[in-house]
Each structure stands twice: as structure tokens, then as C-alpha cells.
Amino acid sequence: MENTCPGSNSKKLLLLQGDLNLAHGRTGNNLIEFLHALQIARDMDYQLAITSNSWVFELLHKMWFNSIHDDDWAAKFEKAFCIKIFQPDESTKGWDRVPHGLNLNPNNSVIVSKYLFNYESELPLDQYIASQSRFIQMLFRHYNTAPDDMCSGINAIFGEERSNVRYSVLHNRHLEGAPGIRLMQRMSRGSGCHPTAALEMHPEYIKSILGPIGMLDHPIVLITDGQDPAVAQRLLEDPEIGPMLSVMPQSASWIGGDLTAAIMSDVFIGNPASSFSGFIAKARIAMGFGNNHLFRAKVSTGVGKPEWVTTCGDAQADPVAGDEDDIGKGVVHLRQEYIRQYVLICYQNFSLSSRRCITASFC
């Protein structure tokens, strides 16, 4: 049978190596870098490969392809993604290492992973979405239940009720204070979203999303980096949100558990400046889940009080200027290229002909 994996004929090898300390950014960035690596391999006809001690191995093995019943995880992983696994000292003789040119050294893990993060495919957006969605679905068909359980967060909050409960997740990332504010301001200029609302998550902001869809009467789970305790305090003190709010317990909070709890929620409210929120949104869309809220702005409709709307897909609206709402004048405009580069939350505004759902029984 003919090998249909990318790179089978070109002999160009994209090898991901180096530990997590040498990759660009944190977990959210690294997950997106892996997805982009898969995309580049298909776009450019490269053979994608990782070393068994690489940041990719370290990142993915904690969450996927490593349950106690997956003794043949390596073979499954290679087959699922058309990836080759090299040993650290294994020769790549006979392969043309890429990327090269433009001062890109294929042996420099930091430069290569940053290149992956910023990669923009030239595929039409609907095809790109479908391609990325297939990769994400494949990961979650092989989610870990042991030794690290991807469902631990859901189990800790809801226990036996986990399969029947309707709930919302708030992902609060403060992003190290001032750097996070600067990043959100950059997001605001590019997307029209509010420059601080997703960082601060005031009760009014949360209720503007959950109230109209009837989710204030259902559990709300806060996943936080803990850098701004005032966020949780404000929400707990709110008479409507407080009684329904649970903060993910520290004992159950880890990357995989938080990720799954957010992905499986009925409503997700995240931070567009966080690549971790971005990956959650992409994964939810890949599984056919709507109600993903990251890009929001307060706009004047000309009647009554200003309203919170999404700046991704809503009708054109003039942002409200003010001390906290000064996101510039003029029509809210979301550049497709900007969203493609960061989190592609505009997934939710595309009606794909075949929205695929995960086939495995999940949590």
C-alpha cells in the first residue's frame, strides 16, 4: 500500500527536539506549536518527527497516549499523526532537515518552536479549521485515565453527577500583571475586544454572557492561575454568581484536568490573550461545542444602556469610549489573519458541512 504520510517522497524532515525549557512559551503555546507542526508537515510535504526526549513528548505524554492500557502508545502515536519517533542519538542521515533559510537553524529548538507558533497556513480558512480539528479529535481519542487522569478536575467538582450536570467554566489568566495588560491591549487593537474585561472578569461581564442563556442557575467553575485573588473574591461575593461558583481545588488542578473541565463545559469564558484559552476554544469547536466567549466588547446600540457583544461575528457596532471602555472609535473589525495567528475563535462562526464530534466516551 502506498504511504500517504507527508514527506514520504520529499525526504524533508521537520524534527522537534529539546526539552520544554527550550520551547517557545508555556503549555498553551506549546500545544498550538504542535498543531502547527502537523499542519506545516501537510502543507509543505515534510516528514514530522520528534525525539523521545523532546518537549513534544514531555508535553503530550502527560495527557494523551499514555494510559495504562496503551502499551503500544508509540506505534499508535506514530500512526495517528504520521510522525516518526527518533532516539536522541539516532542519525537523521538521508533526510533534509527543515526549516532552513531565513536564519532558521533546525537544531535551535527555541527558534523552531517560535516559528511553529507564528506559522500561518495558506489553506482556505474552512479547510484549515477542518484540518486542525482532526488533529485535536485524534488527541482526545487517546486521552489518559492513568497514571494522570484527564477527568480529575471534573470528578473533583461534580463526582457522580459529572455526566448529567450543565456547567460553565471561567478561565482567568492574569498573565503576570503588566505584561498581560499590554498583551490584552494589543489584542484589543487587533480584534476590537475590551482591553481589560477578560483579565478582570467582573460579575457584570460574566452575567452578560450567562444571564441571557439561562446559565446563572447552573454551576460555574473558576480555573485560575491565582495571580489575581480579587477576581475570585468578587465573583464569590456576587449574590447571583457566588452561590453557583466553585473554584477548582488546588489538589485537583493540573494542566490536563483543567483543560478537560473547560473543554467539556456547556459554556466557556476565556481570555483571548491566553494561548491556553485559545487551545481550549479550538478543541471545543473541534468537538462541535458552541458558547465559546473570548472576544467581547461593550457597544452602544443607540437604545438604552451599552451592551456586551462578541466582536467575532456580531453585526458592526461602535465601541463605547470611556475610562475602562476606550477600545478606539469606529466599527469593530476582526482581522481574519489576527485570529488565525492566535486562537481562531472565529471557528464558532463557520458552519462547516460536517462538524465532527469525538467518538470516544469522554469522562
pLDDT in tens, 245-258: 999 988 888 999 99
pLDDT in tens, 63-86: 999 876 667 888 899 999 999 999
pLDDT in tens, 32-60: 999 999 999 999 999 999 999 999 998 99
- What is the three-class DSSP state of 172? strand
pLDDT in tens, 264-294: 999 999 998 888 998 998 899 888 888 889 8
CA dihedral 199, 202, 204, 210 (to 10 degrees): 70
Give 226's pLDDT tier (boundaries 50, 70, 90). Answer: confident
pLDDT in tens, 321-363: 333 333 333 223 333 333 343 334 444 333 222 222 232 345 5
Q: How far is CA 257 from CA 149, 280, 323, in A?
A: 7, 12, 37
Query: And the C-alpha cell for 310?
Result: 462578541
Higher-pLDDT residue of 299, 247? 247
Give 3's pLDDT tier (boundaries 50, 70, 90). Answer: low
Short-list 303, 268, 299, CA closest to 283: 268
Predicted pLDDT of residue 184: 83
Query: And the C-alpha cell for 320?
Result: 463605547
Question: What are the domain boundaries of the chain?
Answer: 12-119, 152-349
pLDDT in tens, 15-36: 999 888 878 888 999 999 999 9
> Which stretches does DSSP call E strand in the chain?
12-16, 47-51, 83-86, 96-98, 168-172, 220-224, 245-247, 267-269, 292-293, 296-300, 307-310, 318-319
Predicted pLDDT of residue 105: 73
Class of domain 152-349: alpha beta
